[in-house]
Every structure is written in structure tokens, then in C-alpha cells.
Amino acid sequence: MSKKKRQASPDTQAAPPTRKPVTVPAPTPTLAAKPQPVAPLPPKPADPNELIRFDRRTNWTLGIIVGLFLLMVLGKLHFVSLPAWNTLVPDGSPVNRGLVSGTAKTIRMDDYAVGAPWIISNINRGYPIENEGIGGLKSAMLTVPAKHIVSFFKPHNWGFFVLDAERGYAWMYDLCIPLLLIGSFLFFMMITRNQYFLSLTGAIALLLSSGTVWWTFIPASMIGYCGLTAVTAVYLLRERKPLRIVLLAFGLVYLCIAYLLQLYPPYQVPMSYLYILVLGGFLYNERKRFFPINAWVLKAGLLAVAVAVFGAVVYLFYNDVKETIQAASSTVYPGQRSESGGSGFIANWFSEYYSWVTNYQSYPKGWLNICEMSHYLTFAPVILPLTVVLFIQRKRIDWMLAGAALFTIALAIYVEYGWPKWLAEKTLVSMAPSRRAQIPLGVGSILLTVIYLSAVRDYVKQVPAWVNVAAVAAILGFMIYTAWVNVNDSEGIITSSQTFLPVLFFTAMNALLLFTIQSKYRIALFCTGLILFLLPNLGANPLSKGLTPITDHLLYRAVRPLVEQNPDARWIVNGSQYVTYLVTATGAKQITGVKYLPERKQIFKVLDPTMKRDSAYNRYAHVTFQTYINPQQPDTTILAQQFEDGYIIAGDPCSPKFKKLNVKYMLYDHAPQIPYEVRCMKKAVELGSMTIYERVD
């Protein structure tokens, strides 16, 4: 074979090597591998410098409170006993007109018979700052919504200026509930280091206590403002960002002014001391977190600016009402209240333990009424000695707990025994009569309880079993004593057998306060028991809707057109005081009715030119009229005091004095005694037994 390479033809070119097919073995079936569990992320550690933890739970709570409030307002729902008008002055309408649920309580006369007619009167007259139907001078500015720049500091009145009258009324009375719940909840969250259930329970207990609900939530706004003011002050101390410092500084001053404009010193003065003591104790306990104060020059400067700006508005308000305030302070009743305490509770300090036994219509006569006798549950007699033991055992003082305890002791002494006169006057506590001071004292008892439970949450002191037995026996003995006090003080309304369950229940509740007994669910059990006991107070007030018991009333609809036709004419009601209240609501310039102050400059200058009977009418009063004709002195007018808060005007309906006063209409709720007394009038409207006469001479 030649070594020379031979050229291959295409036909003879070698074929590519053949590859054997690769056989892929079928996969062997295996069990699916289980996913390995992933360990959950550890919870985010609590920030030791965090004041209030606005987590999902807290935000939902605040949202629900605000949402329910808005739903109530949109639905025109409120808790005032306006449906009582359906039976007090029946006009043939259904007795449940305006009533959604519950029962109207006639005891809350200041709300449905005085407050509501005053408010509707000022609405009908266009929100003036002077309204003769309410009282002399500028009474309207102090008592009802009025068009004035100071309304900016009165959130309760905002609804009237942006909503219709009925929703504005609902806003006014409903706002106090979210104020209390939000203000107290945030305050408790701050001072208990975010103990959610304890904080929420404390807020609910303040809301549902008898001293709050039976006064139609009047104390609620003040409690709420105190809590919000304290929280804002603490956040201002901690804040570093300039914009937030501005908002907090102005917010703090705003809240202080809004609180002051509640204008009820008997509650405000003691309550201010309570929150100052508790807040001061909190800041001292946590002084390392707040002091030295960051950016203190900026904060002090902004507070000064806020005080100056808002102070200018308040100064204008004060100038407008200065004469009115001086006149109110100079009245015979209520005048300038100045007491040194010592008259005690209307009921007794422990009557709330047995509040399930009494009710709206069944209570001891010596306790006056369900409102006056109501206050708050107190656990102070057990907490106070335990607090001393706690401080000794821990060898340190919780200054916040000490502040709440000091307030409770001091005010309890004021109520039961009194203070030296100089001390009561210097501290201004003299402005709080004993029976009014029991409300802030009760608020202090709730704060004391919450603070104490927070302090002993994780603390247990091991003691011999006999010590706990002795402690529980002492608590049982205390509860038996409270039962004895109430049985003897209740004029037979409360019997010994009725005290059995309350004694057992509150013995158990007080025993939960013993930090010598280890209990994993101490706070949960106590909070549950407290809320369950207070829940029946939800029925204290009715759920009402709108203003129809007044504005749809036959008498109101008969009088209102006459007032619109002749708004400057004056009215007198000859008869029932309840009829006078309805006439007030129409916006009439009525001489009778309820007067915050007497109208000296015009009305009594004519009726009593020498001021001989000044002591009879110089008061907050319910004013009625009756016919008195003296043939020897035909123009005689008698002004006679009937009650501490009431006087009567008696005279000839056709007297020249009433003509001079432009008394155009006289409403009789009965037939005139003799035709002579209506000789100067003609019938304008007849409403069954009632007749409206118009003066024609």
C-alpha cells in the first residue's frame, strides 16, 4: 500500500461513528421531603424608653372608640332623658317618642328641663351671647353654645356650628365619653408601662362608675382632659423634633384652657391636685428618662408663645363675661362657695358596694336621690395599708403610688372631718362642698387601684400561710363592717340578707390585692370582676334620639310661630314650671322659667325699682308666676322666695308694669280665676286646658 494518501470520493467517505443511545434510568419514587419548620421571628423587644405602645391593639381600641362616637352622632343618639317630656306635659303623642331603649329618668332635671330648653332657645335665636330667656347679662356665654371666638376652646360646641341642631346636641353630650375613654386609657397606658387590659379596665371603670353615669357623664370630660393633658405634658418633655415640639406645646396649652372652660371648680380643683400628684410621682420615678430636659429653651419659649396667643383669646372672653361672673359670684345662691369640708358623704363611703340593692326609685330618703348618693367603688381601705407594707418590703417608695395615696387620704379627711379653714381657702379646695368633693375622691380611688395593681403585678412576697389567712379574715371583717354601716344607714332599704353576696364578692376582690398570695391571673380576675359589677350601670341613662320630645311637642309648635312673628315680645307663664321650660325652648323672651342670673337692668328695674326684694330673686332660680290682685294697690307685685333655687312673681296680669316690660303674651295652663284678670287680653291660641292670651290694651 502506497504511503501516499489516497483521496476519498464522496461516495466512499466514511460514515460518522454510530452512538449508542443513552438510556436514562427512571427515577426511583421517593417520599416528598417535609419542609423544615422555620422558627418564628422573636418578638420585637419592648423599647424601655417607649411611653405608649401604639401597636395594632391600641390603635384598634382608639379607632373603635372614635367610630362609635361618630355613629352615635350621625344617628342623633344621646343619653339625655328628653323622652320624659312625653309624660311630664303630655300632648297625646306616644310616650316613647324619641326613646330608643331604656327608661327616661326624671331625676336628671338639669339636663332635660333646664339644659335642653336653654340650648334650643339659643339655637332659635341664632347663638347670641346674650339671651334673656336664659338669664341676665351674658349668661348664654357661660351656659350654652354661642357664637364667640372662645368656642374654639369648647369642642363640645363644635357640632352645633357644622351639623344640624339634633346632631350638634348628640355631639355635645356624647363627646364626653370618648374624651374620658381615650384620655384615661392613654394615661393609664403611660403610667403602667403599657399594661393594656389594666389600662382599658381603668378607663371603663371611670366611665361606668355611678358617680359618672348618674350625673349624665358630666365628670367625664374633666377626667378625660386631665388624662390627655398629662400625656401631652410628658410627651413634650421627651420630644426632640422641633415640629412635634411646636404641636405639643400648643396642644398642651389648648387642653389646659379647654379644661378650665368647663367652669365647674367643685370638681376641677380637687381633680387637678390628683393628677398633679400622680404625674409628679410618675416623673420622679422615671426622672432619668426625662431629665435633663432636651431643648428646654425651645420648649419653654414655645409654651410662652402658646400661652400668649391663646391667652389673648381667653382675655377677650374674660372681658366679655367679667361682669356676668361677678354677678354670679354675688348671688345669694349659689354665690361664692367657700367651705372647709366635714359634712361627709350623702350616703357613706362604702355604699357603692351595695349599689345593686338600691335603684332610681328605691333609696334611703337621707341619701337625697340616686344622683347625689352616687360615687365610686373604693378599695383604698385595703390598698393603703398594703402600700405601706409594700414600701417597707421593697425598701423604696413608688412616688406615683404615694401621690395617689396622699390625695385619697387628704380628700377623705376633707369630706368626713374637714380641713382648717385657712388650708381649704389657700388651696381653693374650699370651692368644693363635701358632697361634690366625693366625685374627685372617687376618681382618685380608681387611679389608686390601677396604680397599685400595676406596682404589684410581678411582685410576690412569700409569707407563712397563717399570715394570708389572717389577712383574708381581716378583709372579711372589714366587709362585714361595711355591711353593718349600710344596713344601719339605709332606713330599712338594705337588709342584712341582701349584703351576703356583696360581702363575699368584695372580700374576694380585695383578697386579690394581697401581694402575699401568688396568683398568675391576679389582674385578669380583678379586672373581670370590676367590669362585671359595673356593667348594670349601662342602664342608668336611656338611649334617646334627637330633640323631638321638645321640638315636636304640641305646645312648642304652638308658641314658636308667635315668637318668630314677634321676637322682642316678652312672655309670662301663669302656672306649671314645666310649661315655662317648654316656652323657654322656643326662644321666647320669657320672664318666668329658669334663670341663670336675674335680669336686673331691665326686668327687675321695673318690678322692684328699690331692690327691696333683692334677696328673693338674686339667685339661680326656677321662676313661676301666679295672679295676685290687690284692689287697694292694683299695681302691687310680690317677689317671694319659695326654695333655695326658686321664687315666685305674683301680681295683676294686666298691671302697667307688664305693659311697660312689653309682656305681649300670657300663657295659662288653667282657666283664669276671674274674667277680670284677662281684661286687657284676647285669646290667641287654645290648646285643650291651656290658653295663650295676647295683650291688646
CA geometry: angle 290, 307, 233, nearest 5 deg: 25
Per-residue pLDDT, averaged over 108-121, amounts to 96
Q: Say whether both 639 and 568 belong to one domain.
A: yes
β-pairing verdict for 99-101 and 690-695 = unpaired
Inside any domain, residue 74 = yes
Inside any domain, residue 199 = no
pLDDT number for residue 287: 93
State pLDDT tens for residues 649-691.
Answer: 999 999 999 999 999 999 999 999 889 999 999 999 999 899 9
pLDDT number for residue 653: 95
The answer to whether residue 220 scores a pLDDT higher than 50 is yes
**H or E element, residue 643:** strand 637-643
Per-residue pLDDT, averaged over 116-137, amounts to 97
The answer to whether residue 592 scores a pLDDT higher than 60 is yes
The answer to whether residue 542 scores a pLDDT higher than 90 is yes
State pLDDT tens for residues 222-267.
Answer: 999 999 999 999 999 999 999 999 999 999 999 999 999 999 999 9
**Where residue 42 falls among pLDDT bands split at 50, 70, 90?**
low
Q: How many domains does the chain have?
A: 3
Inside any domain, residue 610 = yes
pLDDT number for residue 585: 98
**Where residue 418 falls among pLDDT bands split at 50, 70, 90?**
very high
Q: Say whether both 513 and 561 belong to one domain.
A: no
Cell of 617: 330673686
State pLDDT tens for residues 277-286.
Answer: 999 999 999 9
Q: Say whether both 362 and 499 belong to one domain.
A: yes
pLDDT number for residue 15: 46
Q: Say whether both 577 and 440 belong to one domain.
A: no
Q: Say whether both 349 and 487 belong to one domain.
A: yes
Q: Say whether both 170 and 71 belong to one domain.
A: yes
Q: Say whether both 645 and 590 belong to one domain.
A: yes
Q: Over the chain, what is the mean pLDDT?
A: 92
- For residue 89, the SS3 value is coil
State pLDDT tens for residues 368-384.
Answer: 999 999 999 999 999 99
The letter for the amino acid at 625 is F
Per-residue pLDDT, averaged over 120-148, amounts to 97
Q: Which domain holds residue 155?
A: 56-174
Phi, psi angle pair for 78, to nearest 5°: -155, 180
pLDDT number for residue 196: 97
Q: Say whether both 347 and 489 belong to one domain.
A: yes
pLDDT number for residue 4: 42
Per-residue pLDDT, averaged over 299-326, amounts to 93
Percent of the chain with pLDDT strictly greater than 90:
86
Per-residue pLDDT, averaged over 318-345, amounts to 91
Q: Say whether both 391 and 269 belong to one domain.
A: yes
Q: Say whether both 557 and 648 belong to one domain.
A: yes
pLDDT number for residue 505: 97
Q: Say whether both 427 and 576 belong to one domain.
A: no
The answer to whether residue 28 scores a pLDDT higher than 60 is no
| Final residue before a domain boundary, out of 124, 156, 174 | 174
In sequence order, which ranges of 47-175 are alpha helices (DSSP H)?
56-74, 85-88, 109, 116-124, 139-143, 158-162, 165-174
In sequence order, which ranges of 535-604 are alpha helices (DSSP H)?
548-551, 554-565, 577-585
Q: Say whether both 371 and 499 belong to one domain.
A: yes
pLDDT number for residue 25: 52
| Final residue before a domain boundary, out of 174, 207, 231 | 174
pLDDT number for residue 41: 53
The answer to whether residue 425 scores a pLDDT higher than 70 is yes
Inside any domain, residue 105 = yes
Rounded Cα distance between 225 and 217, Å, is 13
| Final residue before a domain boundary, out of 157, 174, 191 | 174
- For residue 478, the SS3 value is helix
pLDDT number for residue 40: 56
Inside any domain, residue 270 = yes
566 contacts 657 by C-beta, under 8 angstroms: no
State pLDDT tens for residues 45-57.
Answer: 556 678 999 999 9
**Where residue 337 falls among pLDDT bands split at 50, 70, 90?**
confident
pLDDT number for residue 219: 97
The answer to whether residue 114 scores a pLDDT higher than 50 is yes
The answer to whether residue 529 scores a pLDDT higher than 90 is yes
Rounded Cα distance between 478 and 379, Å, is 11
Inside any domain, residue 597 = yes
The answer to whether residue 319 scores a pLDDT higher than 90 is yes
pLDDT number for residue 38: 55
The answer to whether residue 431 scores a pLDDT higher than 60 is yes
Inside any domain, residue 621 = yes
What's the length of the chain? 697
pLDDT number for residue 12: 41
Inside any domain, residue 291 = no
The answer to whether residue 3 scores a pLDDT higher than 50 is no
pLDDT number for residue 359: 87
Rounded Cα distance between 589 and 592, Å, is 9
